[in-house]
Amino acid sequence: MSRERLHPAVWMTYYLLVLAVAMFYWNPLLQGFALLGGMLYFAAIAGGRAFLSELGFTLPLAVLVAITNPLFSHAGATPLFFMNGNPITLEAVLYGILLAGMILSVLYWCKCLSMVMTTDRLLTLFGGFLPKLALTFSMTLRFFPRLFRQMKAMEAAGKTSGLLADDSFFDRLRGRMKLLPALIGWSLERAMETSASMKARGYGLPGRTNAVCRKMRGEDVVFLAVILLLGGLTLLSGILGDLSFWFYPRISDLPTGGISLMGYVSYGLLCFLPVILEWKEWYQWHLLRKKIPLS
Amino acid sequence: MKGFKKDLLIIFALVLLVAVLILGTDIQSVDEYYLTHIDDIGPDSETVTLSIRCDTVLANLDKLDPALREGGYVPEDGIIFPETKLVLREGDTVFDILSRATRYYRIQMEYQGADETALGTAYVEGLGNLYQFSCGEGSGWIFFVNGKRPSEGASHCKLADGDRIEWIYTCRFGADLPDHYQGVVK
Amino acid sequence: MASSAKENSPLLRVEGLTFAYPGEISALADLSFSLSAGEFVLLTGVSGCGKSTLLKLLKREIAPHGKRSGEIYWEGAPLSRLDDRDAASLIGYVGQDPDSGIVTDKVWHELSFGLENLGTDPAVIRRRVGEMASYFGITDWYRRDTDSLSGGQKQILNLASILVMQPKLLILDEPTAQLDPIAAADFLATIHKLNRELGITVLVCEHRMEELFPMADRVLVLDEGKLLLSASPREVAGLLPKAHPLHSGLPAAQRIFAKLACEGATPPLTVREGRAYLESHYAHLKGAKLPVVPVTEGETVLELDKVWFRYTRNSPDLLQEASLSLRKSECFALLGGNGSGKTTLLKLASGLLTPYKGEVRVLGKPIRKYRSGELSRVGVALLPQSPAALFLYDTVEKDLLEIAKGNIAGGNADAVRAMADRLAIASLLARHPYDLSGGELQKCALAKLLLASPKILLLDEPTKGLDAAYKEHLVQIFRDLKADGVTILTVTHDLEFAAKVADRAALFFDGEVLSPDSPRTFFAGNHFYTTATARISRDLFEGAILPDDVAQLCRGGAQ
């Protein structure tokens, strides 16, 4: 799979570009690309069931966001009706819908990012140029599940020994306050143990190396170049001002010059790139499977 | 995570519901809203005059929000609402006059109610689609009564017969107003 | 010259080592011994005899601070002069707590951690890690989160991540104290294999002598900071002073032999040797049996009635119509494999979890009708799997004082002191709970539970990390508790302890408590899941499950 095969840095660049454009350019067409691309990619890597269950959360969220905006923002030249003396305007409604779309596309892309960028790959990403950070990151990931388990164990122990009541919210709050110093003590103790274990295995000797470096391969470089080119063209078109769009006081026309077109095409391609890759690979497997003779 | 997301949605929906309940749900159609009764000026009525202007924008067109540059949002003479005589009702404040006039003459207005602002007075954010910050960082609406800047806010400033109210758009915290206002704005 | 000195000198030599922690009397006194390359040495002694201190002193990076004299030599030269890189890689150390050694979140990263520190080339790291993962059978969980591993896997990982650095000496401080018997046996077998196949020198401190005696070349016995004995495992029973508490921890065959005191015969070490020894000396007594004490009926204080439980909607049922009733003043031992749901059963019995079907009743009243805190007031107490969770303050004493408040009328401090004496933890009262070893923590946790004057004690692995002498002490405490009307339900892997202390024992398997019975019937009837003594004596006697039983039958027959 391309998402596993390509260098994490390539993917990281990709996500940063897609998200940056999605968050800073309020152009309905670009937002549409980002949303559709993000949703399709999520469906492709998470599967239909996960996609539907995610939709159960994101759709109501989108509706709520879309409703909220016109209730609180009354700008816009086309009032639809007045509520408590304030206009509910067409522009604010449309802006709310775009805002909801943007929040959704950021959510979906972040979902994909967290699925593709497993901690392993993040380590590979940072391990190369920020080895200390990578190690700290890895140790943090090791520590937190233990901390939560310890907290649960302490709560359970307190409950059964009758020292922590949990009849009401305030009981629980008081219990947590009581656990806090003990948990801090526990964390410090774990930190001491960990540092002893690190020292025992030679941590702190000069000339530390990193086992998790992964070199850029030819394929990585090609993809990085494509991504940078598409992202760069989009940004260029944006910098030249040909992607601008506004809602207030009256909705502007969608810019349609040559430079704008360049921006649309390049961002569209960028957003659908991973889905296209997934489908292409799925199709290749499909063909390969057909060739494998059934014995 | 599932539970957390559900909670988030429920909280969001509840906040929205509470907001709607507190703010009320008095819904009017556009025509109903603008169909405001305005008193005819009789021989006994007390009156004030109101004008809304944005001359300063003309000198700062480069800073103006591109969305407002076309479409006549900024009149060429800078006058959004020419000086007009209006009936003063008992107890009227600057804000009462403004909101009655904008309704009657269908001028767009958005404000923060007196209960929403920190100073406890209504704050006018936009008039005629021209908002604070629409023309640079120091831009926004300020008002004058008889050429002076009152110390109270718009919804506290009581009026007397013959007062002259001006709503003026500034682009530089009041420093760019015509000369005769300079003395009253610091 | 230097090289010849290196060849002739032992791998490690300790000369007149004396050590004292700041402000305390000496932990080690004038200790001298040496380890030859390739030796497998077992270091033993009762808790608090200075074993851990000694082992840490041998690993330079984690040596405790304090006043020391004497010298430790590594291949003839003082250890302090060893190069940092060599010191880190040539001597490997594995501690008691499987969690504390692990630094990173991924198994593969943990394995490469040591080599990264040494500055090894990434290509070499990958090769050595791959080699080690294959040798240890880690390949299946190579990509997993370290947090998701079982205790046994964590200890194997700790070992493997040291072995990639190619050490010559492995120092292990009670490495299996926190593991269940099967994981422990696996781990010890791995150590043995490393010693035999790779010639790595092993110095291990352990309470599990049943398994370790047959593996070890030599046993060092430490007593109050002094070296009491250095002998081959077979000789230990004979050389150890008669009343030494360590006797109760020796392998069953040796204890049987010691009780029968036959002059001249070679002391047996393993189950097989023990059987042969009994066959050759007591064959004429074949068929002797011990009477089975009938299980007494009594008032039911805790009952699980056809209980079903699973953690999440899609997970399998851990309890499937499990039923169990505890009678007043009895001790019930629940045995069974790891992850079978024994701990879950305890949590259900203590009200921490709620069954989705069936009912738990405490003193005849359904558990869900108790309000929070009420269960502890009627006297239900739970010793959790990780006893550290019971301690919230910076000294053990504060925690004990807190629980003693209100539960025992009159002087709280007196009650705490009396309890401390009863459980022999007076010296631990002022210590920070997290500074204690697993065994010490276990004792303090028991003290905390008992201070609440419980009526029903639910114990999860009460003997974890305890040495044999203390287990004997605990057996006595349990008997006293029962005499006071306390009911005990203990989940344990310690078969001999269960055989000594339980009135009834049962196997928990496939979500059910299988036919509880008196321990004599239970252990004598089991073929595998039984005490070492029962395995030794099964062909000759009936119902002998403890060394004392065998001794009684042999002597009884001899008279």
C65 touches chain A (CB under 8 A): no
**Interface contact flag, B108 A249, Cβ < 8 Å:** yes
Q: How confident is the model at residue B180, as a pLDDT?
A: 60
Question: Nearest by CB to A81, which of B19, B27, B126?
Answer: B27
* Burial status of residue A244 (CB atoms within 10 A of its CB: 0-12, 13-18, 19 or more): middle
Q: DSSP string of B68-128?
A: GTSSSSS-TTSEEEEEEEEEPPTT-BHHHHHHHHHHHTT--EEEE-TTTSTTSS-EEEEET
Chains touching chain A through at least 3 C-beta pairs below 8 angstroms are B, C
User: Is the CB of residue B138 less than 8 Å from the CB of residue B171?
Assistant: yes
User: Is residue B20 over pLDDT 80?
Assistant: no
- Provide CB contacts within 8 A for C297, sequence distance 6+: C327
| pLDDT value of position C375 | 86
Q: Where are the domains of chain B?
A: 36-182
Give the per-residue pLDDT at B36.
66
Euclidean distance between CA atoms C282 and C553, whole angstroms: 10
Contact A249 B73 (CB under 8 A): yes
| Token duo for residue A46 | 């998470």
CB contact under 8 A, B25 and A83: yes
- Among A145, A153, A205, beta carbon nearest to C389: A153
Q: Which residues of chain A have pLDDT under 50?
A: none
**Is C373 an 8 Å CB contact of chain A?**
yes
Task: Name the nearest CA neighbour of A155 among A143, A144, A163.
Answer: A163
Fold of B36-182: Ferric Hydroxamate Uptake Protein; Chain A, domain 1 (2.170.130)
- ipTM of the predicted structure? 0.84
Question: What residues in A contact C118, CB-CB < 8 Å?
Answer: 202, 205
Q: How distant is the Cα of A193 from the closest Cα of chain B, in angstroms? A: 32
Q: Residue A172's closest chain C neighbor by CA?
A: C372
Dmax of chain C from CA atoms?
A: 82
Residue C7: predicted pLDDT = 53
CA distance linking residue C184 with residue A293, whole number of Å: 48
Cβ within 8 Å, pair A120-C143: yes
List of chains touching B (3+ CB pairs within 8 A): A
All residues of chain A having their beta carbon less than 8 Å from the beta carbon of residue B73 are: 249
Chain A contact present for B33, CB below 8 A: yes
Whole-structure pTM over 0.90, yes or no? no
C414 HSE (CA, 13 A, CB side)? 4
Nearest chain A CA: its distance from C50 CA (Å):
19
Residues of C in contact with A202 (CB under 8 A): 61, 84-85, 88-89, 114, 117-118, 165
CATH of C328-354+371-527, picked from 3.30.160.250, 3.40.640.10, 3.40.630.30, 3.40.50.300, is 3.40.50.300
Residues of C in contact with A195 (CB under 8 A): none
State the pLDDT at residue A77: 81
Predicted confidence band of residue B74 (pLDDT cuts 50, 70, 90)? confident
Span B111-120, average pLDDT:
75
State yes or no: pLDDT of B72 exceeds 50: yes
Tens-digit pLDDT string for chain C (559 aa): 344 444 567 999 999 999 998 888 888 999 999 999 999 999 998 887 889 999 999 999 999 999 999 999 999 999 999 999 999 999 999 998 899 899 998 899 999 999 999 999 988 999 999 999 999 989 899 988 898 898 899 999 999 999 999 999 999 999 998 888 888 999 999 999 999 999 999 999 988 888 999 999 999 999 988 999 999 998 888 888 878 888 888 999 989 888 887 666 788 899 999 999 888 888 888 888 888 877 778 899 999 999 999 988 778 899 999 999 999 999 999 998 777 889 999 999 998 899 999 999 999 999 988 887 788 888 899 999 888 889 988 889 888 888 877 554 455 788 888 999 999 999 899 888 888 888 899 999 999 999 888 999 999 999 988 988 899 999 999 999 999 999 999 999 899 999 999 999 999 999 999 989 999 999 998 888 899 999 999 888 888 999 989 988 888 754 3
From A84, A247, A249, residue closest to B26, measured CB to CB: A84
* pLDDT average, residue stretch B165-170: 92
Segment holding C358, helix H or strand E: strand C357-362
**Cβ–Cβ below 8 Å for B33 and A79:** yes
- Look up the CATH superfamily of C2-245: P-loop containing nucleotide triphosphate hydrolases (3.40.50.300)
Distance from CA of B25 to the nearest CA of A (A): 6
Nearest-Å Rg of the Cα atoms of chain A is 26
What is the distance between the alpha carbons of residues C72 and C233, in angstroms, rounded to a whole number? 25
Q: What is the pLDDT of residue C522?
A: 92
Residues of chain A with Cβ-Cβ distance to B131 below 8 Å are 75, 248
